[in-house]
Amino acid sequence: MTAAIATVMVFADSVTLGRCRSVRFIAQSQWDTVEFMRAMIVCPHQIENFDATLSKVYRQAELFGIAACFDSWTRA
């Protein structure tokens, strides 16, 4: 079985709407959402300090409204 943590960036009017869009996006990628670890609003200062991976996800979210990166592993 494969498990993953998804980092999803979504532009939404509320945390609730952002969570709903995130769940649908993750499901379209053939994953099930088991738990939300956190939801947060990012400020410009945080965006400036993103590493290369998060910067890429943020740019994709700017273009498409939502984007994600998945860190996966095989469970024994």
CA distance 18 to 9: 9
pLDDT of residue 26: 95
For 29-53, how does the pLDDT look when each residue is reduced to its tens digit (9 = 90+)? 999 999 989 888 899 999 999 999 9
CA distance 12 to 6: 18
How far is CA 52 from each of CA 38, 42, 58, rounded to the nearest angstrom?
Answer: 21, 16, 10
Sorted by where each begins, the domain ranges of the chain are: 2-74
Question: If you average pLDDT over residues 67-75, what whole number do you get?
Answer: 93
75 or 60: whose pLDDT is higher? 60
Does residue 76 surpass a pLDDT of 90? no
Give the DSSP H or E segment for 18. helix 15-28
Task: Give the pLDDT band of residue 62 (cuts 50, 70, 90).
Answer: very high
